[in-house]
Amino acid sequence: MVDSIEFDLIICGSGLAGLRAAIEAARKNSKIKIGIVSKLQVMRSHSVSAEGGTAAVLFEDEGDTIESHIYDTVKGSDFLADQDVAERLCNEMPKQVYQLDHWGMPWSRRKDGRIDQRAFGGYSFPRATYASDKVGFFEMQTLYDTCQKYENIEYLNEWFATSIIHDGKRFMGITAIELSSGTFYAIKGKALIIATGGAGRLYSFSTYALSSTPDGLDMAFRAGMALKDMEFVQFHPTGILPSGILITEGARGEGGYLLNNRGERFMKNYAAGKMELAPRDIVSRSIMTEINEGRGFKHETGVDCMKLDLRHLGDEKIKEKLGGIREISIKFSGVDPAEEIMDIRPVCHYMMGGIHTDIDGATELQGVWAAGEAACNSTHGSNRLGANSTSECIVWGKITGELAVDYIEKGVPQDPWPHHLVAAEEKRIYDGIFRGNGDANPYEIRQELTDTMNEKAYVFRNEADLVDGLKKIRQLKEQTWKHVDDKAKEYNTNFTNVMELDSMLRTAEVVLIGAINRKESRGAHARTDYAKRDDANFLHHTLAYYDPKEPIMKTHPVTITKYQPVERKY
């Protein structure tokens, strides 16, 4: 018999969305048992790496408006955002900034004591609320501290969730491995919130932690939920070389310049109105265009790059506002940005796509919600504006936590537990992977997968490359790599790495098929062979459903409330 434990509410993922959901659920009902299941220790969640800010309109007395934030978000999304969702985000966020403040968040402040905000790409006003350049770390610390007030929140740190158990209509539980002992568990539950973050480690040049693999997305996908808009991958303009670690947009928000090899601030040729603070998709394409036309630099590793200049900001301002960035640059590139220019290049930074949800974060399976980057409620459409992601985590963490408790309180029928489904999952991961056999090295397969995504589905894409990439991913999938050489039970990272790879291959396939099918350029999806946006044929979301042979692709309408699509100009 498989060991089992039971919670009322299971939250998979312990980043901003997961912790915010746990707090809201615990505040609403102190009697329900809440279990946070995370493959990491809580404060290792990738949310701690968010640097630049959290978007909210705080100063309507200075001319900013909620409506302006909504329109900037919709325009930034290249009109693929569901506008009712963007409205909810922008209306809810000011309250959440003050809520975090009351919980002890150390926001950076103006001289008059009011919370400070900095300029970010694509916004009409400075509305990135920040805490120096470590906003994610401080938000996580604040939420984790707040969680300690509630005795009904329990942490399952370093547990690897492998599948969702359901009866075809309704959620019943999950299966997971306790990494410290290697024990396989069934975790019974009445409701589930998936907050497992993004899948950015599908790319080898990436700002993400190595743990940011699509296990949560794949778990939902295999359970019959759709993955939505996965072709839209955000490349942040400024990944530091050679590591790919993020240099926050706040560096440009504070006045940094992007320079080509002629010493020109080249953004004047692409977005004269916004310069370095145009939306990320536009800045990344501009950088790659400059490189492709011979105006780039060569990094010592041989990689083409561009330069980011912060020297004119002065030592004092860099230390105060961008201290973390300075430390990262010195540590990982040997460059002090107060004295030298930094080498940067567009880097995989965010997935606009994720598990298909409605405006409330509800998925297609009753009793399951998704929040944060793992979810796709279509806030960001085809391109996310900077600082809207931590906002989304906090808003839909709150919403899903509340709704999951409402659902539990109504009473969930307790049907017989489907032991056969747990047994089938145990067989899939132990016979299929742990005791599997193969001659291909799974680590080499993983490297080939991430390099293929880098080469074939980067900032600029075309049919030939995407088809080539898909063929390569399918070849890798067919190779015999499902085996684990380390047979230890405790902390078997070899086992977890191969399980991660299993989910990466399925998810990469969805990204590439979505990109092949979308024969237009919209937001972060830029096709050189279809250079224009095509609203007549592609003003829709992409849905992918699991099938053992290949994903079943469908479309889903975009919600337009006020703003008809127009050409984006900045």
Distance CA 453, CA 258 (A): 26
Structure tokens that stand for 470 in this block = 């898909």
Q: What is the pLDDT of residue 164?
A: 98
Query: What are the counts of helices (DSSP H) followed by strands (DSSP E) for the chain?
Result: 15, 24
Q: What is the pLDDT of residue 19?
A: 98
CA atoms within 13 A on the CB side of 22: 34
DSSP designation for 525 = B
Instruction: With both helix axes pointing from N to C terminus, report the angle between 463-478 and 493-517 in degrees, rounded to the nearest 10.
Output: 150
Distance CA 329, CA 337 (A): 7
Q: Where are the domains of the chain?
A: 237-346, 419-533
3-state secondary structure of 284: helix
Answer yes or no: are the C-beta atoms of 366 and 169 closer than 8 Å: yes
Amino acid occupying residue 233: V
Q: What is the pLDDT of residue 502?
A: 96
| Helix H or strand E segment including 177 | strand 171-178
Architecture of domain 419-533: Up-down Bundle (1.20)
Distance CA 99, CA 102 (A): 5
Q: What is the pLDDT of residue 383?
A: 97
Answer yes or no: are the C-beta atoms of 13 and 370 closer than 8 Å: no
CA distances from 43 to 15, 31, 83, 140 (A): 8, 26, 33, 7
Instruction: With both helix axes pointing from N to C terminus, report the angle between 16-28 and 388-410 in degrees, rounded to the nearest 10.
Output: 40
Distance CA 384, CA 77 (A): 6
Q: What is the pLDDT of residue 437?
A: 87
Q: What is the pLDDT of residue 414?
A: 85
CA atoms within 13 A on the CB side of 483: 11
What fold is seen in the domain 237-346? Flavocytochrome C3; Chain A, domain 1 (3.90.700)
Instruction: With both helix axes pointing from N to C terminus, report the angle between 83-102 and 66-76 in degrees, rounded to the nearest 10.
Output: 120
Task: Provide the pairing of β-strand 227-228 with 540-545.
Answer: antiparallel
Omega before residue 346 within 30° of 0, cis: no
Q: What is the secondary structure of 109-127 as a DSSP string?
A: B-TTSSBPEE--TT-SS--
Task: Provide the pairing of β-strand 183-188 with 171-178.
Answer: antiparallel
Structure tokens that stand for 228 in this block = 């939505």
Q: What is the pLDDT of residue 74?
A: 98
**Which residue is associated with the tokens 């359901």?**
166
> CB-based contacts of 260: which residues, under 8 Å, 6+ apart?
266, 290, 295, 296, 306, 307
Structure tokens that stand for 242 in this block = 């050679």
Instruction: With both helix axes pointing from N to C terminus, report the angle between 135-147 and 388-410 in degrees, rounded to the nearest 10.
Output: 20
Q: Which residues of 181-199 are buried (b: 16+ CB within 10 A; e: fewer)?
A: eeebbbbbbbbbbbbbbbb
Distance CA 37, CA 317 (A): 40
User: Is pTM, for the whole model, over 0.95?
Assistant: yes
Task: Give me the residues of the chain with pLDDT under 70, please.
Answer: none
Q: What is the pLDDT of residue 368?
A: 98
Among the listed residues 494, 504, 505, the one whose alpha carbon sits nearest the alpha carbon of residue 436: 494
Query: How big is the CA angle at 128 (ends 127 and 131), to the nearest 5 degrees?
Result: 135
CA distances from 248 to 16, 212, 252 (A): 18, 19, 8
Residues with catalytic function? 236, 252
3-state secondary structure of 304: strand
| Contacts of the segment 59-64: beta carbons below 8 A, 24+ positions apart | 59/114, 59/117, 59/125, 62/125, 63/125, 64/124, 64/125, 64/127
